């Protein structure tokens, strides 16, 4: 059983879209492990959870975007940088699929 | 917080090393103010389109001015020095101003970055909200900012005058 965690801060609007994409991939792969939603409320929460921005998704404790995981903790929207140079507020399907494989 | 119907007065330092005021833009047929910042992925997703609109409409008297009001103590990536770097790296042709006191953001009623305010020649607000309807440029189908600029240039009211801005919150000082 995997531990699938979605850390989010409500001040950033991107987590519902990230959660929807994550659920879609879980269904496609027949993975029934629950998504554990962890809301970050304060800067102290962000520090305590090493939260680099919203949303942050960890599979068995490992960030789906390890390169971005070391950004200083803050209550902000997280930036995901894709190999083609694009920037996104949510991880890519490929990042999620690789993290779940 | 509600959006006001006329352009607020301002006199703010720009990343070009000069101050810029509302009066300076008096000759602009259309003035667009963009609540913005450096660190937000939604800004990064849309800033190229905003910059491209400035290039496209510069000859028709449109002036697009971005401003960052975020608290740099809590968000160092939004400091003035980083604004200068960001504008240079992103190739801004728009003016980019630093609203350190956050007075202009409060006067605008800004809540998000990016959030656009389009003013006609009389500096009446004709459109407020999102740039378009999708942060992925090739998937955008409703081009609110472009349509508002075109309407304002023609002395008309845009078909859509208000949409929800999608982006990061303005980082207010505590």
What does the DSSP 8-state code read for residue A72? P
Q: What gap in Å lies between CA B68 and CA B158, rounded to an integer?
A: 26
- The closest CB to that of B41, out of A11, A43, A89, belongs to A89
Each residue of B98-114: pLDDT tens digit? 999 999 999 999 999 99
| Both tokens assigned to B118 | 């389009």
Answer whether residue B3 is part of any domain: no
Q: What gap in Å lies between CA A29 and CA B116, rounded to an integer?
A: 41
**For chain A, which residues make up each domain, given as ranges?**
4-100
Chain A contact for B75, CB < 8 A? yes
Strand order in the sheet with A56-59: A35-39, A4-8, A56-59, A62-63
Degrees (nearest 5) of the Cα angle B171, B98, B92?
Answer: 105
Answer whether residue B5 is part of any domain: no
Each residue of A22-36: pLDDT tens digit? 999 999 999 999 999
Provide the whole-model pTM: 0.93
Percent of chain B with pLDDT over 90: 96
- Per the structure, the count of domains in chain B is 1
**Contact B41/A14, CB-based, under 8 Å?**
yes
Provide the chain A residues 33-92 that lie in CB contact (below 8 A) with chain B: 43, 74, 76-80, 87-89
3-state helix, strand, coil in chain B (%, to 5): 30, 25, 45
Q: What gap in Å lies between CA B48 and CA B70, rounded to an integer?
A: 20
Q: What gap in Å lies between CA B112 and CA A74, rounded to an integer?
A: 17
Q: What gap in Å lies between CA A5 and CA B58, rounded to an integer?
A: 47
Q: What is the CATH number of the domain that holds B30?
A: 3.40.30.10
Q: What is the mean pLDDT of residues B66-80?
A: 96
Q: CA B60, B122, B158, A88: dihedral to nearest 10 degrees?
A: 70
Query: What residue numbers bound the domain in which B95 lies?
Result: 11-18+26-169
Location of structure tokens 């000069």 = B18
**Contact A79/B41, CB-based, under 8 Å?**
yes
pLDDT lower than 70: segments of chain A: none
Answer whether residue B56 is part of any domain: yes
Across the strands, what pairs with B32?
Answer: B64, B118
ipTM strictly over 0.85? yes
């Amino acid at each position: 059983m995997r531990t699938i965690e979605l850390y989010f801060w409500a001040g950033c609007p991107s987590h519902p879209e990230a959660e929807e994409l994550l659920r879609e991939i879980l269904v496609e792969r027949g993975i029934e492990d629950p998504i554990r939603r962890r809301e970050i409320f304060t800067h102290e929460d962000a520090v305590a959870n090493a939260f680099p921005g919203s949303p942050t998704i960890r599979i068995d404790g490992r960030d789906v975007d390890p390169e971005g995981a070391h950004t200083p903790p803050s209550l902000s929207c997280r930036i995901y940088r894709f190999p083609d140079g694009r920037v996104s507020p949510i991880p890519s399907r490929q990042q999620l699929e690789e993290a779940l494989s | 917080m509600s959006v006001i119907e006329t352009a607020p007065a301002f006199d703010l330092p720009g990343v070009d090393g000069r101050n810029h005021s509302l009066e300076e833009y008096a000759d602009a047929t259309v003035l667009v103010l963009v609540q913005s910042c450096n660190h937000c992925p939604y800004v990064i997703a849309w800033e190229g389109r905003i910059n491209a609109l400035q290039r496209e409409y510069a000859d028709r008297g449109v002036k697009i001015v971005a401003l960052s009001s975020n608290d740099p103590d809590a968000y160092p990536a939004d400091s003035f020095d980083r604004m200068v770097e960001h504008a240079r790296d992103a190739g801004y042709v728009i003016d980019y101003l630093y609203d350190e006191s956050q007075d202009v953001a409060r006067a605008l009623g800004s809540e998000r970055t990016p959030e656009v305010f389009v003013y006609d020649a009389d500096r009446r607000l004709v459109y407020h909200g999102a740039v378009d309807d999708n942060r992925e440029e090739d998937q955008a189908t409703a081009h609110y900012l472009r349509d508002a600029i075109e309407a304002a240039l023609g002395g008309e009211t845009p078909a859509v005058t208000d949409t929800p801005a999608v982006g990061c919150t303005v980082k207010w000082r505590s």
